[in-house]
Amino acid sequence: NAGVTQTPKFQVLKTGQSMTLQCAQDMNHNSMYWYRQDPGMGLRLIYYSASEGTTDKGEVPNGYNVSRLNKREFSLRLESAAPSQTSVYFCASTVERNTEAFFGQGTRLTVV
């Protein structure tokens, strides 16, 4: 029962470095999401993929790119990390929109 798996769990980057956060789900869900969680704020949507082959911007997409590699995998890339991107990142999946969401364990990213 893996559900949604994210890697890595922790990462420290220097300003300007790039990295890719990986996410995979084994529930045959169509839709996948990337959120960030910051203290005192609710989760905010960065990008989502309604179905394989499609991606769309969410509330806070600037500084990020995504790839829906196949139905299982949805990656988030930071091309040039900035301290403002220090956050906890969560990947989630749903069968389709407005259905029960399942979350990964998160990636705690620090940009120094």
Partner 1 sequence: KQEVTQIPAALSVPEGENLVLNCSFTDSAIYNLQWFRQDPGKGLTSLLLIQSSQREQTSGRLNASLDKSSGRSTLYIAASQPGDSATYLCAVPSGGYQKVTFGIGTKLQVIP
Q: Residues near 19 by Cβ (< 8 Å), separated by ≥ 6?
A: 11, 13, 77, 78, 81, 109
Find the farthest-apart pair of alpha carbons in the chain and give their distance in angstroms, rounded.
37
Radius of gyration of the chain, Cα coordinates, nearest whole angstrom? 13
The pair of three-digit structure tokens given for residue 79, joined into one six-digit string: 């091309």
**42 binds partner 1, rule: CB under 8 A:** yes
**Residue number, 72 or 108, with CB nearest to partner 1:** 108
Instruction: Please identify which residue in 4, 66, 78, 81 interacts with partner 1, judged by CB under 8 A.
Output: 4
Q: Tell me: does residue 98 bind partner 1 (CB under 8 A).
A: yes
Q: Is 71 in the site for partner 1 (CB under 8 A)?
A: no
At 84 the three-state DSSP class reads: helix
Using CB under 8 A as the binding rule, whether residue 108 contacts partner 1 is answered as: yes
Residues that bind partner 1 (CB under 8 A): 4, 31, 33, 40-43, 45, 48, 50, 56-59, 90, 92, 97-98, 100-106, 108
